[in-house]
Amino acid sequence: MGSARDGTCREPWPLRAREPLADPTASARESCYETQVKLEFTNRAWGALPFDPNEENRTRQVFGACFTRVRPTPVKAPRTLAVAREVAELLDFTPDFTASAEFAEIFAGNRSLSGMDPVAACYGGHQFGSWAGQLGDGRAISLGELKNARGEHWELQLKGAGPTPYSRRADGRAVLRSSLREFLCSEAMHHLGIPTTRALSLVATGEDVLRDLLYDGNARHEPGAIVCRVAPTFLRFGNFELFAARDDHENLSKLAAHTLTTHFPELGAPSPVAFQELLAEVSRRTAELIAAWMAKGFVHGVMNTDNMSVLGLTIDYGPFGFLDDFDPSWTPNITDASGRRYRYENQPSIGLWNLVRLAHALFPLIGDVSAVEAALGAYGDTLTRARSRTLAEKLGLRALRQDETRADGSPCVPDATLVDDLFELLAAVETDFTLFFRHLADVVTDPAADEPSDEARFAPLWDAYYDASAVSADHRSRLLVWLRRYVARVRDDGRPDSERRQAMNAVNPKYVLRNYVAQLAIEAAERSDLSVLEELLDVLRHPFDEQPAHGRFAEKRPEWARHRPGCSMLSCSS
């Protein structure tokens, strides 16, 4: 999505020039660090793909280019609020460096390391189903691609670092609330096992940014911040779409060849067959990604094609959310409140819709309709298998049973009915998605145990309901019938309770980044209290562990958060 529209701009740095430093010792500190630690910026895409010859930083249409060189706009008083130590280690950054004032200067955009060559990417995209034309990095500036000691390549990107030629009417900045949410969720998703871009740092700018949170005419000044995002590449479906829409097949071919040889070398040298395989592999990765979202109750909120990674990563955290009560029609995005295009249950179909847009873009390089259709077929096949696998895991089953007979020939009911009936029950009464599956592991199924009473069987699940009085006798009776079927199915699977419980707790998290919890961290940080942010970051590193001392972060959404901005519905204002 585009940035918020307050219309203000700051003068950018001269290209490749360093801002004069007020502290005369600062340059010495930088030199000291760079001589102690050898950092290699390879910037492979920079060397392989076309650049905008115009280096003027003003809003404009850019043709025939993947990148425009642009410097981050300096900020007043950078201060590091948080660093993800695991990402720092990926980049070979030492703890002394990440704790330094120099680090804050670099990752606020006030200073650079040798080899950094800041650029903004040019791309287009379909937004809410309509072609939006050129979009591009309106406030994201990639500093360069760093090669670590293990030979891995990581692109470093500042979000909120100032205007670029793609900023349209916006200022290129970001506020603390959205930056903190992206920083936390990037790392939370990684520790949940969901493919994602990572977050290195969250840096306060010392400057306020004017934003209209709900687009209702009540703009206010908020503290600004910059998050440093990290990924092997930030290439999106929209990078390919823009060249295709402009019939620029020469640069489309260059981009596809670079993507293939750099990120998918196992698919072979550039050719129509290899580009078909590229589309198929992106389809498979996208299917696995969306199956992972669905399994953890994650709703992206803005599945525009410019927010879809060719690597199958979760990218561009805006008005996202994890399901509190299970509502298949829920979207966290107020911009999407009427059409609900990007609601939870619609994410699998939107994934395919977006891939079809990518297929249209790649068609000039593949040139065969049947080959494109075959490549897209990988999405449905992969999604079906991945959804079946993740649902079985959530239920503690070895696999979902598809047949109507057992191995011994006796009749049985396919597990699809068991799954469908459960989700119907979850949607009928406000039931917390995360807590229900976490506590389902505690239901006794062991045939050697005494048969529990209905109350005892139901007891582990009570905590998942938002209002126990809303659980009618009829609903309770239906759920008990389902539980008996579930117990029988687990026994049929032959899995002891101890093994099943361990397996379920390894895939059904106790902790996800609930919107109301993120809001608590935001409000504390706006008061200069970083304790909630620090504690929450540590808790989210271990989402499947019990962590009794931090149990408050696993609690259901409180009533005060039901309709509060930032806790229920969010906007793209950031």
State residue 82 phi and psi, 5-degree precision.
Answer: -160, 150
Question: Taking a C-beta distance cutoff of 8 angstroms, is the pair 310, 237 a contact?
Answer: yes
- Cα separation, 570 vs 563, in Å, equals 10
* Token couple for 329: 């029609």
Is residue 306 annotated as a catalytic residue, yes or no?
A: yes
Catalytic residue among 52, 137, 171, 306: 306
Judged by DSSP in three states, 48 sits in helix
Helices and strands (H, E) in the chain, number of each type:
18, 12
Helices (H), ranges, 312-453: 347-366, 369-395, 415-428, 433-440
Hey, CA dihedral for 495, 500, 502, 504, is it positive or negative?
A: positive
Nearest to 243 by CA among 49, 55, 376: 49
The residues pairing with 159 across neighbouring beta strands, listed in sequence order, are 140, 227
In sequence order, which residues have a C-beta less than 8 Å from that of residue 473 and are 6 or more positions away? none
Q: How far is CA 83 from CA 180, 224, 373, in A?
A: 11, 17, 44
DSSP, res 8 = -
Residues 6+ apart with CB under 8 A from 574: 3, 4, 174, 175, 177, 178, 179, 211, 318
Are 280 and 375 in contact by the 8 Å Cβ rule? The answer is yes
E runs forming strands in 111-189: 119-121, 124-127, 130-134, 140-147, 153-159
Per-residue burial over 81-90, b = 16 or more CB atoms within 10 Å of its CB, e = otherwise: bbbbeebbeb
Q: Is 111 helix (H, G, I), strand (E, B) or coil?
A: coil
- Residue 474 phi/psi, 5° resolution? -65, -45
Helix (H, G, I), strand (E, B) or coil at 432: strand
Q: DSSP alpha helices (H): ranges in 409-514?
A: 415-428, 433-440, 454-458, 473-493, 497-505
- Give the CA distances from residue 510 to residues 15, 119, 180, 441, 488, in Å, rounded to whole numbers and listed in that order: 48, 40, 21, 12, 26
For the chain, the straight-line distance linking the first and the last C-alpha, in angstroms and rounded, comes to 10
Tokens linked to 354 = 């977006």
Whether the Cβ atoms of residue 170 and residue 138 lie closer than 8 Å to each other? yes
- Quote the CA–CA distance of 13 and 309 in Å, as a whole number: 30
Which residues are registered as beta bridge partners of 170? none
Nearest alpha carbon to residue 515 among 466, 468, 568, 560:
568
Neighbours of 34 (CB within 10 A): 13
Catalytic positions, written as ranges: 306
